[in-house]
């Protein structure tokens, strides 16, 4: 004897209800297929209808079909109940769309609908739902890791100074601020090069050469004003960027850095070791100063500093070169007060 359930119909090879076809599952709820509209056939795996003559239904129509029973189950008795009913319907609609999207593997869109449903649930509450402590700790951990990754991406791995990427980006921004309509303070760029560093590597080895580079960065960074930074330009060359400074003070800062390196007790690192640096200082006056000149790019500013660095090398090294009133002047060692007209020649010295 076969007992028939009223909510299950017998399988038939023909379409006997809106939206159902002979290839549907042998057991299914009675009534129209909720994944169809107006008796249309459901979508196939590739997202198209089996019958090209049938107009495709939208995602919202599919979700409406999935949640049709829930939508009609909420009684509306008044204005307040009507608002609650509308909110409840929207929540169920978002949940239905999320379920449909997740079945298709579209997880990001599904999450967005679930998030919208959650916002609607708590929209009429003064207090927001508490964040679980485990989730809070996980978010804090991800934030720390992101900050650490960001810091590592702009730092030189050997010396811990800023790298060339950060230098290019930051210098461009600072120059734009300095030469802009509201720029009043100048910007100094000092290009620093270790003297005879190849001999240090050849004599004492590259491992000690790495330690020398690390110590030089520490000495260069120690006396920098607030807002200034040191970046590795390449090899044994470094750049000091000092914003908000006038030309005379910029020379004082560079000379102090040179003197710190020259006075350091290098023989404590290894007997017989001596390290000095040569520096070229380029200065860009602010737009609001009397000495203001047309804006320069970061590349032009570095080229100016490189020209002056070359002049410092030619003067005998262990010196700071800067330009004043059209002339190149020097500080440091035996070069104080010496003047030359043009710093650059066709021959590049062995630095």
Catalytically active residues, by annotation: 236
C-alpha 284/C-alpha 10 separation (Å) is: 88
d(CA 238, CA 158): 13
209's torsion region: left (phi>0), alpha (psi -120 to 50) or beta?
Answer: alpha
Q: Residue 33: which region, alpha, beta or left (left: phi > 0; alpha: psi -120 to 50)?
A: beta
Distance CA 110, CA 90 (A): 15
Orientation of helix 79-103 relative to helix 59-66, angle to 10°? 110
Q: Are 336 and 295 in contact (CB under 8 A)?
A: no
Contact 254, 263 (CB under 8 A): no
φ/ψ bin of 232: left (φ > 0), alpha (ψ from -120 to 50), beta (otherwise): beta
Among candidate residues 287, 39, 323, 314, the one with its CA nearest the CA of residue 179: 287
Rounded-to-integer distance, Cα 7 and Cα 30, Å: 6
CA 180 to chain centre: 25
Indicate the SS3 state at residue 275.
Answer: coil
H or E stretch at 232 = strand 229-234
């Amino acid at each position: 004897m076969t007992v028939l359930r009223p909510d299950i119909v017998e399988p038939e090879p023909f379409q006997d209800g809106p939206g159902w076809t002979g290839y549907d599952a042998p057991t299914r709820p009675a009534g129209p297929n909720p994944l169809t509209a107006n008796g249309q056939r459901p979508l196939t795996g590739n997202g198209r209808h089996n019958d090209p003559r049938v107009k495709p239904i939208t995602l919202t129509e599919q979700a409406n079909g999935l949640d049709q029973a829930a939508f009609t189950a909420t009684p509306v008795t008044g204005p307040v109940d009507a608002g609650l009913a509308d909110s409840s319907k929207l929540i169920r609609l978002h949940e239905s769309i999320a379920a449909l999207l997740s079945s298709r593997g579209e997880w990001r869109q599904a999450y967005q609908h679930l998030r919208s449903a959650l916002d609607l649930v708590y929209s009429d509450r003064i207090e927001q739902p508490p964040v679980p402590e485990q989730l809070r700790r996980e978010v804090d951990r991800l934030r720390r890791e992101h900050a650490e990754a960001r810091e590592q991406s702009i730092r030189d791995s050997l010396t811990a100074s800023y790298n060339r990427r950060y230098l290019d980006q930051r210098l461009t921004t600072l120059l734009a601020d300095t030469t802009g309509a509201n720029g009043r303070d100048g910007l100094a760029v000092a290009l620093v090069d270790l003297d005879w560093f190849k001999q240090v590597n050849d004599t004492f080895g590259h491992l000690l050469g790495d330690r020398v580079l690390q110590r030089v960065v520490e000495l260069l960074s120690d006396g920098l004003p607030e807002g200034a930074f040191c970046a590795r330009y390449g090899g044994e060359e470094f750049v000091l960027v000092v914003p908000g400074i006038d030309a005379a003070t910029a020379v004082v800062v560079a000379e102090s850095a040179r003197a710190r390196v020259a006075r350091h007790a290098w023989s404590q690192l290894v007997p017989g070791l001596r390290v000095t640096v040569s520096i070229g200082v380029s200065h860009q006056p602010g737009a609001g100063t009397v000495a203001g000149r047309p804006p320069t790019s970061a590349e032009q500013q570095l080229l100016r500093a490189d020209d002056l660095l070359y002049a410092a090398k030619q003067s005998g090294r262990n010196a700071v070169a800067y330009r004043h009133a059209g002339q190149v002047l020097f500080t440091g060692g035996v070069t104080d007060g010496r003047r030359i007209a043009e710093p650059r020649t066709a021959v590049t010295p062995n630095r």
